[in-house]
Amino acid sequence: MTTLNHKVIITDTSICGSQIRMCATVSEQRLVEVRCRKVEQESILGNIYVGRVQKVVPNIRAAFIEIQPGLACYYSMEEAAEPIFVKKIPSKKLVQGDELLVQVTRESVKTKAPTVSANLNVTGRYLVLTSGDHRLGFSSKLTKLEKEHYREVLSGCKNENFGIIVRTNAREVSDELLLQEYESLKEKLTQMIRTATMRTCFSCVSRTPESYMKYLQNSYQEGFTEIITDLPEVFESIRQQQESDPSFAQIPLRLYEDNLLPLAALYNLNKQTEDALQKKVWLKSGGYLVIEPTEALTVVDVNTGKSVTKKDRQEHFLKINLEAAAETAAQIRLRNISGIVIIDFINLEREEDQKTVMEHLRRCVREDSVPVQVVDMTRLNLVELTRKKVEKSLAEQLTE
């Protein structure tokens, strides 16, 4: 993700009648990305539990694994990871009553249960160590030359017990710091697996950091100019993290202390967040988008609206579609929309115009920190794209 002059804002505010902990990225006073969670609510995403197999469903090659009493999660039996069992009932297959280590990879979305995996990930700022996939992997945002460099740097770190994924943030640090984090993560993963066999069912053997620390950890920070918070405990926690991580300290940290103007009001966060719950989004050209989530997918309809022209209509439609492509990419990221998205652009007759819109859309979605794949445009100018499902949408975060 390329970010220029982005500020990270961490504050507590009231939205939709609830007290919310907000972690937001702002650029030129515009809200780019936001994660909200009720102050008293705790996320389970990324946590590792000793789970118990509640039932196995062979016809869909899946099982349901309880990680807390009454909380059953979906587990795909087609994943390649070798489970780490805490208690195994004599059988070559996964059976009801087996106890194993699982990690929450996706929170509950709409009516779907949370998803868990036996491929355990321990995440640092620059690397991820995996227990189930023993290969060396790379962020798709790294160049071919960068991948070759890190392949050489980590050549002596191959281990039969886990794999390594190099994150985009690795660009920010020296090879020495990268190897230091590798050793730290290796020790953490090894110790966790070693002690897990002594834990009881439903134990949480590894808990993810606070939401704001996870947000900072998962954000590609090149171009971040400042971290601002008005919460003293959050300020102190981040300051301590900066002391233990020299590269993290490169981003200035500020405690906002103006009692007359709340931090959320200074950056107009509440209004922009509430606007992100609305269906209609106006474009500068006078056109507008209608964003309509359904059970299966999200539909984005591009309309000319107030935009009129006496010149070349196709040229005018191209201009609106290009603006709509950029705004759709921004809204998908801001609203944290995942799964299948169908965009109904204004019909373009010239093939070169269609290609221009598609190329522009692909450039725009590269700014997203979550993987987005633009699939294709149909003859009716419908464009399909997919965005990886990880966390709940902004609407679900605020209204559940």
pLDDT for 247: 62
Whether the predicted pLDDT of 4 surpasses 70: no
Across 88-96, average pLDDT: 91
- What mean pLDDT is predicted for residues 116-142? 88
CA 221 from chain center: how many Å?
14
Mean pLDDT of 206-219: 81
- Let me know if domain 6-39+209-271 sits in CATH 3.30.420: yes
Question: What distance, in Å, lies between the first and last C-alpha atoms of the chain?
Answer: 29
Which two three-digit tokens encode residue 161? 């017990």
Helix/strand/coil percent split, the chain, to 5: 30, 30, 35
CA distances, 88 to each of 92, 117, 161 (Å): 9, 17, 20
Which pTM value belongs to this model?
Answer: 0.77
What average pLDDT score do residues 270-278 get?
A: 94
Q: Which token pair is 266?
A: 């200074």
Q: What average pLDDT does range 72-79 have in this prediction?
A: 92
How far apart (Å, rounded) are the C-alpha atoms in residues 178 and 126?
7
Please tell me the predicted confidence (pLDDT) of residue 378. 84
Which pLDDT value is given to residue 220?
Answer: 56
Percent of the chain with pLDDT over 90: 54
CATH of 276-399 given 3.30.420, 3.40.630, 1.10.10, 3.40.50: 3.40.630
Query: CATH topology for 44-207?
Result: OB fold (Dihydrolipoamide Acetyltransferase, E2P) (2.40.50)
399 pLDDT higher than 80:
no
pLDDT band at residue 398 using 50, 70 and 90 as cut-offs: confident
Mean pLDDT of 10-31: 90
Q: Which residues of 355-365 are buried (b: 16+ CB within 10 A; e: fewer)?
A: ebbbebbeebb
Could you tell me which of 293, 288, 388, 303 has the C-alpha nearest to residue 342? 293
Which sign, positive or negative, has the C-alpha torsion 389, 394, 398, 400? negative
- Domain boundaries for CATH 2.40.50.140 within the chain: 44-207
Neighbour-count burial for 75-109, b at 16+ CB within 10 Å, e otherwise: beeeeebebbbbeeeeeeebeeebbbbbbbbbbbb
Q: What percent of the chain has pLDDT over 70?
A: 95
Sign, CA dihedral 63-69-70-71, equals negative
- Using the 8-state DSSP alphabet, how is residue 346 labeled? P
Q: Are strands 204-206 and 224-229 parallel, antiparallel or unpaired?
A: unpaired
Mean pLDDT across the stretch 319-325? 95
Q: Residue 85's pLDDT is what?
A: 92
Residue 248 has pLDDT above 80, yes or no: no
Q: Does residue 143 have a pLDDT over 60?
A: yes
CATH 3.30.420, the chain: domain bounds:
6-39+209-271
**CB atoms inside a 10 Å sphere around CB 158:** 12
Q: What is the mean pLDDT of residues 75-83?
A: 85
Q: Which tens digit of pLDDT belongs to each residue from 33-50?
A: 999 888 777 788 899 999
User: Higher model confidence: residue 215 or residue 152?
Assistant: 152
- What is the identity of the amino acid at 240? Q
Indicate the pLDDT class of residue 3, thresholds 50, 70 and 90. very low
- 111 against 220, higher pLDDT: 111
Q: In the structure, what pLDDT confidence band is assigned to residue 1 with cuts at 50, 70 and 90?
A: very low
Give the pLDDT confidence score for residue 2 in this predicted structure: 43
- Provide the pLDDT confidence category of residue 158 given band limits of 50, 70 and 90: confident
Look at 148 and 80; give whichever has higher pLDDT: 148
Which residue intervals of the chain bear CATH 3.40.630? 276-399
The predicted model gives 133-153 an average pLDDT of 89
User: Which of 194-198, 215-219, 339-343 reaches the highest mean pLDDT?
Assistant: 339-343
Lowest pLDDT segment from 3-7, 62-66, 329-333: 3-7
**pLDDT attached to residue 310:** 65
Q: What is the pLDDT of residue 210?
A: 83
